[in-house]
A and B are shown apart, each in its own frame.
Chain A
Amino acid sequence: MGTNDIFDILKTEFGDYILEYKDQQPVDPYILVNPDQLFDICHTLRDKEEFQFDYLMSLSGMDLGEKLGVVYHLYSMNHKHKVVLKVSVPKEDPKVPSVERIWRSADWHEREAYDLMGIHFEGHHNLIRILCPYDWEGHPLRKDYQAPEFYHGMEVS
């Protein structure tokens, strides 16, 4: 099933919450979605007969300048098709609903996106840092990040 078919079916169900469908080579086609209804959309994608996206390949945080984004790559073991979902939130208040109860692999991916990008996932049971030390300050993968001079007395740079 191609991404435009998935887009049409989702549009009939969720209406305005599905924002956009982009398909230009060499871009992988993706569907831009409003973050408010993200949990229900992902639930439909996992459980509906035609979709059955039961495998979350990857969840990445992105720094888009004034906004922060999250990209979901999904795959279906039965139908063997893929889809790419994107959401974007403002940088001052980056809150995205968590999908860890739908796909358990999202648990650590969301902790990593929080640690390195600073995106808050609402509904996550344990959103703490995973790669950087627990008392690290700042979110390193943002474009405007400045590394600290010293950490616990050790020179950083």
Chain B
Amino acid sequence: MSEKKRIELEYSQLDSERMRINVGPQHPSTHGVLRLEVEVDGEIVTEVVPHMGYLHRSFEKYCEQLTYLQVIPYIDRMDYIAAINNEWTYVLGMEKLLGIKVPEKVEYMRVIMAELNRIANHQIAVATFGLDAGAFTPFLFFFRDRELIIWILEKLSGARLLYNYLRVGGLAADVYPGFKEDCLNVVKQVRKTNAEIMDLLINNKIFIQRSANVGILPADVAINYGCSGPVLRGSGVKYDLRKDEPYSIYDRFDFDIPVGKGEVGVIGDCWNRNIVRVYEMEESCRIIEQAVAQMPMEGDVKAMVPKKIKPPVGEVYFRAENPKGDLGFYIVSNGTDKPERIKARGTSFVNLSVLPEISQGYMFADLILILGSIDIVLGEVDR
């Protein structure tokens, strides 16, 4: 098997010129509306300039006009694939500012829902990564399993995709009987499908040839660019906010942090970023099993919170481990019931900035694969 190397550019005897191509906002594989201006020399990429803002929905301006409670549906729509994690980060930041402690049942519910959403997100990430490489069947398998997770969340909150379910101090509605059995069914099905996908996609010779040794991101470059999540862990840095700065009740569970080890290819390439996501699905299954065993079913789902949320003058920066990386909220309050400023440090915004650096010297088809392995969602990039 010939190894893919970063091709050194040589100017041959023929008169050749570099060409600027537009991978426009409408493209089947840019994972949303992102425009890439690519300069190519034949088939080899020499420069990539991303242009964004095609989904800029002025989220931060909206936050200054609405109350703290009305902001929650807009926060859902930032990372629309795993909406619970966004809401949870915001709600934890507000609870730190107000000094509220939530009941045990609420903590367990939030952890279970966040981990279910983590599995759902990684299913889409691996499915679309396979689609970029040309494999259609894993897409169908993963979406079939994702339906099971969405049905649970629909029974809880009423919506399939954008839940608006978490509140400052608790949840919007109580849990339904039969919740624990549904979660354990999902875990069983996810493990079964993961075993199939390891044979079908991950250890497939063609997939390895396409994704190994492509888009190598060294660890110090990743830290300097501010990357987080599977992008950072795929480069060998063992850093996860659930273990390094535990929030909520994550210190009660026993789970590992998968890191790219270079089993196939080089540490920091597309294959290793992808395998981190597959292993993280298994770790989320372990957390869900432990949480379901420990969770109490009786109890209230709301803490004592005043009807109108008016935090004292102050500010807080809170970050939590989203499926794509660490999402940060910088909340500044001026004493009234409307925030002064909410800044969302989007995970995908920072992860995408590393694309021009790691895609130089590879073929054009590899560029699409590298973009798929970073796993962006445009709602977070553009806000």
Contact = CB atoms under 8 A, between A and B. Distances in A.
Interface centre among B237, B316, B341, by most A CB within 10 Å? B341
Interface stretch (A3-11, A51-59, A89-97): A51-59
A104 B61 contact: no
Contact of B97 (A26, A73, A105): A26
B225 interface: yes
Chain A binding surface, main DSSP class = loop
A80 B353 contact: no
Interface residues of A, number: 32
Interface centre among B224, B237, B350, by most A CB within 10 Å? B224
A21 interface: no
Interface stretch (B50-58, B72-80, B146-154, B267-275): B50-58
A54 B52 CA distance: 27
B382 A58 contact: no
B2 to A, nearest CB: 33
Interface string B294-319: 00000000000000000110111101
Contact of A103 (B226, B328, B341): B226
A62 B332 contact: yes
B377 to A, nearest CB: 16
B310 to A, nearest CB: 13
A108 B53 contact: no
A54 B349 contact: no
A104 B224 contact: yes
Contact of B330 (A60, A105, A107, A112): A60
A141 B61 CA distance: 6
A157 to B, nearest CB: 12
A27 interface: yes
Interface centre among A25, A27, A80, A132, by most B CB within 10 Å? A27
Interface in A43-80: 54-58, 60, 62-63, 71, 73, 77, 80
14 contacts: A26-B311, A28-B315, A54-B223, A57-B328, A57-B345, A60-B330, A73-B317, A77-B223, A80-B245, A104-B225, A104-B353, A105-B226, A131-B56, A131-B383
